[in-house]
């Protein structure tokens, strides 16, 4: 009888485990793990479903080093960046950043800073990418530089809102961009015409930064700021390479960008 009780107890312990293992069983094919897979086995999810999953994976950095928008998602990315969802996603990020910023006790010694990236963070190059298939093709750097020299990219409204709120709280703003030093004048001109004023520093890539990935370049610049006594309370960027690497800001805020990835 004691043996029967033990066998029954073992059954009730193992049975739920077996059921949950069946429910969570993953498909064995590698396509499930692909970064930007266009070749799903049946049942194939509709594009609206698949592309939302792809976008979530991109925004959370699960996608890692991705290179272009999956062909079946190009139209949906276009709809997203032109629509209410992108605006609302950006607004929620800005609101969360502001909520955090309000909790910080500033010393008002000029060393409390917030770092912003520039492209697709403070200003939008959507007009340029409209002509480039929303960057579903491989990026054309020369075409982008010609566009940047025009200095007519508009502000991303919720970034401008956050920028002004942070200045109102007493933060010093530092702009850290992958643009080249040779583009300083046009970048400043564009930022000012978009409504940004009174930043403390604008850091661009110079010759000593040649060959560095964005993550290496931006990390090294943050290290330089920390060495000068700046306290980096927050950082906002549309790329994970704006935010990751040591030293990091105390809090980082990822602004959505499903159009392109910069390592």
Distance (Å) of CA 173 to CA 92, 197, 236, 259 = 20, 10, 11, 26
120 near Mg ion, rule: CB under 5 A: yes
Of the pair 112, 117, the CB lying nearest Mg ion is at: 117
Please state the closest distance from residue 129 (CB atom) to Mg ion, in A.
Answer: 12
Of the pair 112, 218, the CB lying nearest Mg ion is at: 218
Residues 189-218 that bind Mg ion (CB under 5 A): none
Please state the closest distance from residue 160 (CB atom) to Mg ion, in A.
Answer: 15
Report the DSSP pairing between strands 172-180 and 112-116.
Answer: parallel
132 near Mg ion, rule: CB under 5 A: no
Please state the closest distance from residue 58 (CB atom) to Mg ion, in A.
Answer: 14
Please state the closest distance from residue 214 (CB atom) to Mg ion, in A.
Answer: 9
Strand partners, 173: 114
> DSSP for 132-199?
TGGGTSPP-HHHHHHHHHT--PPBPHHHHHHHHHHHHHTPEEEEEEEEEGGGHHHHHHHHHHHT----
Q: Tell me the window of 66-74, 76-84, 110-118, 245-253 that interacts with Mg ion (CB under 5 A).
A: 110-118
User: Length of the chain, please?
Assistant: 263
How far is Cα 241 from Cα 170, in angstroms, rounded to an integer?
26
Binding pattern to Mg ion, positions 66-105, x when CB under 5 A?
A: ----------------------------------------
Closest alpha carbon to 93 in 250, 241, 234: 234
CB 123, CB 156: distance < 8 Å: yes
119 near Mg ion, rule: CB under 5 A: yes
Of the pair 50, 217, the CB lying nearest Mg ion is at: 217
Write out the residues near Mg ion by the rule CB under 5 A. 117, 119-121, 238
């Amino acid at each position: 009888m004691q043996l029967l009780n033990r066998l029954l107890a073992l059954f009730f312990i193992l049975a739920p485990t077996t059921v949950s293992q069946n429910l969570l069983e993953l498909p064995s094919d590698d396509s499930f793990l692909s970064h930007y897979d266009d070749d799903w086995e049946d049942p194939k999810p509709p594009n609206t479903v698949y592309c939302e999953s792809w976008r979530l994976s991109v925004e959370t950095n699960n996608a890692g080093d991705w290179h272009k928008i999956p062909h079946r998602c190009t139209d949906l990315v276009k709809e997203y960046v032109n629509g209410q969802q992108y605006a609302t996603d950006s607004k929620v990020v800005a609101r969360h950043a502001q909520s955090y910023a309000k909790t910080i006790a500033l010393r008002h010694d000029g060393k409390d800073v917030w770092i912003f990236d520039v492209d697709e963070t403070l200003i939008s190059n959507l007009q340029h990418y409209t002509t480039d298939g929303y960057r579903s093709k491989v990026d054309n750097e020369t075409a982008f530089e010609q566009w940047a020299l025009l200095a007519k990219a508009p502000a991303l409204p919720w970034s401008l809102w956050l920028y002004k709120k942070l200045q109102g709280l007493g933060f010093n703003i530092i702009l850290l961009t992958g643009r080249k030093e040779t583009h300083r004048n046009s970048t400043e001109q564009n930022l000012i015409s978009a409504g940004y004023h009174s930043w403390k520093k604008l850091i661009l890539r110079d010759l000593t930064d040649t060959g560095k990935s964005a993550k290496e370049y931006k990390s090294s610049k943050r290290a330089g700021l920390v060495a000068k006594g700046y306290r980096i309370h927050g950082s906002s960027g549309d790329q994970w390479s704006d935010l990751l690497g040591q030293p990091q800001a105390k809090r980082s805020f990822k602004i959505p960008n499903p159009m392109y990835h910069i390592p």
